[in-house]
Amino acid sequence: MMKKGNVEVLNSSSFDPQFKFEVIRTLEGETTLGCFQCGMCTASCPLSDAVDVKPHQVMKDVLLGMKEEALKCKMIWACSFCLTCNIRCPQGVKPANVMVALKHMSVEQKGIPESLQIVNETIIKEGWSKRITDFQNKRRVELGLPEVPKVNKDLERLLNETGFKEYAGG
Amino acid sequence: MEYSYYMGCQVPAQLPNYDLATRKVAESLDIKLIDLLESGCCGCVIRSVNPYTWIALSTRILAMAERTKHDLITICPGCYTTLVEVQSILSEKPSLRKRMNTILEKESLIYKGEVKVKHLLTALYFDKGIEEIKKAVTNSLKGLKVAVHYGCHLNRSHDYQQYDDPESPHILDNICEVTGAESVYWPLKLWCCGGMTNDQELSFKLGNMKLKDAKASGADCIVTACPFCQIQFDNRQRYISSRFNEDYNIPVLTFTQLLGLAFGIKEEDLGLQYNRVPVEELAIASNKDERKRKEI
C-alpha cells in the first residue's frame, strides 16, 4: 500500500477479481455478494473497536478482491461468532459466516494458529474439543453422573475419512 | 416425556454442576433424558479448520439421536446452533447428505433428517409449558434479582428466531420469573460474553464489561443458559476481577440451578458447591423479604 499525504492509495492491479467468487463457492460464504457497505455489522459488533480491520471492511476487501488483506487481518480470528451482524444485516448477508469461510481459506494457505492446534489435537486424541480428565470423570461418578468415554474406533475413522488428521500436525 | 440428551464438550470437562442440576430438574419435571455419550464433539470449534469434519461430526450426533426416536436436546447453545445449521445445510444439499451417510453407514448409522433439535430452554418453555413448571415450584425465590444472560448462539441462531425475537427475547426471562425471581434490566444483556473468541485479551475485556454492567444493574446473580458464558462469568470471574482491579463477587448460576433451587432440590444435588463464586449469600438474598419481615 502506497501513501500520498494522509491518504492510502490502493493499487488495483494487485486485486484478485476472482476472490469473491471463491468465497461464495464455500459452504459459509454464499451470501457475500449481497453486501452494500452500510456498516451495520461494524456498528453491531462488540469487538469492532478493538480490531484493525472492521467487519464491513473485511466484506469490502472480499468484494474488491484484496485477498491478502482479508486473510491476514486480526478481525477474522477475533470474531467470536456472536451472530449479531447476521441478524441485523438488511441484506441478509451473514458476515459471521463469511469470517468462518475466510478463516478456512487462511488455514489452507497459512496453516492453523496455535490456539486451534491444541483443540485439533485434543479432538483427535480424545474425541472431544476439551479434554475430559480422569479427575473430572471420577468426580462425575461420585456425583452419580455417567462417565464420558474417550474417542472410539468409529470416531477415529470419521476423522480419517474426512481428512481431518492432516490438519493436526501443522 | 423423553429426549435424547447431548451435553457437548465443555459441560463434562468443566461444569459437572450444570449437568447435575439439569438431570435433577428434568427428573422433577418428569422428563427422561437418554444419554448420547459415545457421540464425541459436535465440531463447532473446528468449522473453520475443516468444514467436512464439522458436518460429519454433527451428522453423526443427529443420526445417533434419530436412532433413539426422540427429539434431541442440548444444554449448550453452541452445539444447538451447530446442529440446526448442519440440518439446514444437509436439507439444502442432498449430495452432501449422501456423502455423510456413506461415512456413517459403516457404523450402521443413517441420517434421514427427521430429528428435531432443541435447546433445553425451548423444550421446557414450549413442550412442558410455563404452567407445568409453575406447579413444581415449592420454594419461591421472591426478592431475588437476576441478570439474565441468554448467550449469543441461543437467541440469534436462525432456528430460535422462529420462537422468539432475537433483539428482545423473553423465554429465559419468563422461566426465571416463574421461580418468583425478578429479571432486572441491564443494557449489555444481549452482548457476547467473549468466551468464544480466539483473542484472550479481547475475551477478558468483554467479560469485564459485562460483569461490570450486571453488577451495576443491582442484580444478586447472573443466570446463564450456556456453558461458555458460565465459564466466562463464573470460572474466570476472579481472574477478570483482579486484572481490572474490580471486586465483583457476583454469583453465577445456570438456569437449571435456579429452577432447582425453586423446586426445593438440595443444594448439593444442584452442584452449587462447584460454582466458583460462592452462592451462600444468594440463599440469603432469595429470602431477603422474609428476613426483613421477621426482623420487623
| pLDDT single digits (tens) A13-47 | 989 999 999 999 999 999 999 999 999 999 999 99
The answer for A 123-142 residues in CB contact with B (under 8 A) is 123, 127-133, 136-137, 139-140
Instruction: Tell me the β-bridge partners of B146.
Output: B183, B221
Q: Percent helix, strand and coil across chain B, each rounded to 5? A: 55, 10, 35
The answer for A 4-23 residues in CB contact with B (under 8 A) is none
Distance from CA of B289 to the nearest CA of A (A): 33
Please write the tens of the pLDDT for every residue from B128-137.
999 999 999 9
Nearest to A145 among B19, B107, B196 (CB): B19
Q: A170 and chain B: CB distance < 8 Å anywhere?
A: no
Decide if A108 contacts A73 (C-beta within 8 A).
Answer: no
Same fold, B2-119 and B137-295: no
pLDDT band at B180 (very low <50, low <70, confident <90, very high): very high
Distance from CA of B21 to the nearest CA of A (A): 11
pLDDT band at A170 (very low <50, low <70, confident <90, very high): very low
Contact call for B103 and A162, based on CB within 8 A: yes
Return the pLDDT at B30.
Answer: 95
Q: Is the pLDDT of residue B293 over 90?
A: no
SS3 B222: strand
Q: Determine whether domain B137-295 maps to CATH 3.40.50.11810.
A: yes
Provide φ and ψ at B116, rounded to 5°: -110, 130
Indicate the CATH number of B2-119 among 2.60.40.1180, 1.10.10.10, 1.20.1050.140, 1.10.3720.10. Answer: 1.20.1050.140
Decide if A96 contacts A85 (C-beta within 8 A).
Answer: yes
Instruction: Tell me the β-bridge partners of A4.
Output: A7
Distance from CA of A4 to the nearest CA of B (A): 33
- The rounded distance, in Å, linking the Cα atoms of B294 and B46 is 55
Which residues of chain A does B272 touch, with a Cβ-Cβ cutoff of 8 Å?
Answer: none
Chain A nearest-CA residue for B268: A143
Chain A nearest-CA residue for B96: A27
Interface test with A, best of B18, B19, B50, B55 (most A CBs within 10 A): B50
pLDDT band at B161 (very low <50, low <70, confident <90, very high): confident
List the domain boundaries for chain B. Answer: 2-119, 137-295
Choose among B229, B211, B231: nearest CA to B221. Answer: B211
Return the pLDDT at A147.
Answer: 94
% of chain A residues with pLDDT over 70: 97
